[in-house]
Structure 1
C-alpha cells in the first residue's frame, strides 16, 4: 500500500504555503478587527484563574470598555482592598495579556 507521500509531486509547494494555526487565527482576528473583543473575552473568562476563587466569587460583573476594566464587587471591604491593590491587579493582567489591553481599572 502506497502512502500519500508517493502521490506528491517533487515541486509541491504546500509545505511552503502552510501557515501555523495560531498565526492564521491571529490574521483572522486582525482582518475582522475583533482582536480586542477576543482578548477582552479571554480576560473575563480567565478572571477566576487570575484572581482566585475568593475574588471571582464576589465579582458580580466584569467588562472591558475603552481599555478600562470595570469590575462590580459584592463586598465593600473587598472593593476597598482591590482599590489599594489596583497596580498589582494591572501587573497580573499585563503579565498574561500584555500592557495594551487594560490601562485602568474601576471598581464599583
Structure 2
C-alpha cells in the first residue's frame, strides 16, 4: 500500500535548521519553475537603472517573450542608436544579472 504514496514536493519538505529567507525564496522559485518569469520581470525593472532616465522616458513600452527583449521607442534617432548598440544592451544585462537572459533585442 505504501508504494502508491505520493512523494512530497521539494518545496514542502521541512528542514531541521534555520535557513536564510533569500535561500528559501530561491529554492521556491526553483521548485515551481519560475526562474524564467522572474528573470524577465527583473530585466523590465532594471531597464531604467541600466539605460538611464533619458532613454527610459523615451521608451513607450518594454516586454519580454521567449528570451527576446521588445522595446517600443518613440524617437527615431534613439531607435537607431539602440539598434546599433543591441550587443551592448545584452552585455549590460548579462553583467548585472550574472547570466544571459536576453538573446535578442527587437525594437518596435
- Residue 100 (structure 2) aligns with: 100
- Residue 71 (structure 1) aligns with: 71
* Mapped partners of 2:35, 2:42: distance in 1: 11
Q: TM-score, normalised to structure 2's length?
A: 0.80
Task: Give 5+ residue unaligned stretches, structure 1.
Answer: 1-15
Q: TM-score, normalised to structure 1's length?
A: 0.80
Task: Decide which structure has the larger Cα Rg and report it.
Answer: 1
Tell me the CA shift for residue 95 of structure 1.
0.5
Number of residues of Structure 1 aligned to a counterpart in Structure 2 = 94
Matches within 5 A, 1:40-59: 40-59=40-59
Q: Which runs of 4+ in 1 moved over 3 A?
A: none
- Residue 29 (structure 1) aligns with: 29
Cα RMSD after superposing both structures: 1.6
